[in-house]
C-alpha cells in the first residue's frame, strides 16, 4: 500500500491540534514547562483579526502527523521578506519517512512564490539528529550570530524605560499591522 501525504493550511478549528503539537514538541525539547499557550490564545494570534503567524499541518494517510508554524521576517540587506520557521514537528512514529523534508520543501516553494529571499530557523545545539538532517538538505548554520532575547520582567522594564525617558520629547505612535 502506498502512503498518501498531504499538507493543508490550518484553520481556526485546528487550534486544539496545533496546541497538542506544540506541547509534544516542547516535551521533546525538554521545555514543556515553558508552554503557556492556550487554544484561545492560538485562535486569536493565528486566526484573529491581526494574525501573526501561519500554520500548515501534514497528514499521512489522512492522519495529522506533522505541523509547521511560520511567519514573515525581513532582510534589509536583501530588501525582501523571508520566512522564519518557528516550529517544525513530526510525530515520532512518522519520522524517517521524508515528512520533515516534504514540509521544508513546501515552505521553500511558499517562500519562492512569495518572493522571499530566504527560509530560516533555529535549532537547539544538542539536537544532532535535526542538525544532520538540515545539513543534508543544504542548510547552513549561522555560527557567527548570537541570538538575544528580552522577555518577562526585562521586557516590561525596557518598555517602561521608553515611557519614563521619552514621554516629554518623543511620541509613541502604535503602528497598525
Pairing state between β 119-121 and 80-90: parallel
Grid cell listed for 64: 495529522
134 is an active site residue: yes
Among residues 28, 59, 106, 134, the one annotated as catalytic is: 134
Cβ burial of 165 (10 Å; 0-12, 13-18, 19+) is exposed
Element (H, E) at 105: helix 99-113
Q: In whole angstroms, what is the distance from residue 136 CA to residue 66 CA?
A: 20
Catalytic site positions: 134
Amino acid at each position: 500500500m502506498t502512503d498518501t501525504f498531504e499538507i493543508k493550511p490550518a484553520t481556526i478549528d485546528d487550534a486544539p491540534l496545533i496546541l497538542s503539537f506544540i506541547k509534544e514538541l516542547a516535551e521533546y525539547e525538554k521545555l514543556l514547562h515553558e508552554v503557556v499557550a492556550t487554544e484561545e490564545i492560538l485562535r486569536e494570534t493565528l486566526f484573529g483579526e491581526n494574525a501573526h503567524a501561519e500554520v500548515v499541518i501534514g497528514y499521512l494517510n489522512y492522519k495529522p502527523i506533522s505541523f509547521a508554524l511560520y511567519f514573515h521576517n525581513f532582510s534589509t540587506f536583501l530588501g525582501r521578506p523571508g520566512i522564519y520557521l518557528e516550529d517544525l514537528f513530526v510525530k515520532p512514529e512518522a519520522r524517517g519517512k521524508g515528512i520533515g523534508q516534504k514540509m521544508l520543501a513546501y515552505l521553500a516553494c511558499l517562500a519562492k512564490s512569495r518572493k522571499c529571499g530566504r527560509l530560516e530557523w533555529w535549532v537547539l545545539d544538542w539536537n544532532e539528529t535535526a542538525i544532520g538532517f538540515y545539513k543534508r538538505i543544504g542548510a547552513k548554520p549561522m555560527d557567527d550570530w548570537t541570538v538575544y532575547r528580552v522577555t518577562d520582567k526585562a521586557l516590561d522594564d525596557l518598555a517602561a524605560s521608553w515611557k519614563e525617558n521619552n514621554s516629554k520629547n518623543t511620541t509613541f505612535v502604535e503602528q497598525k499591522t
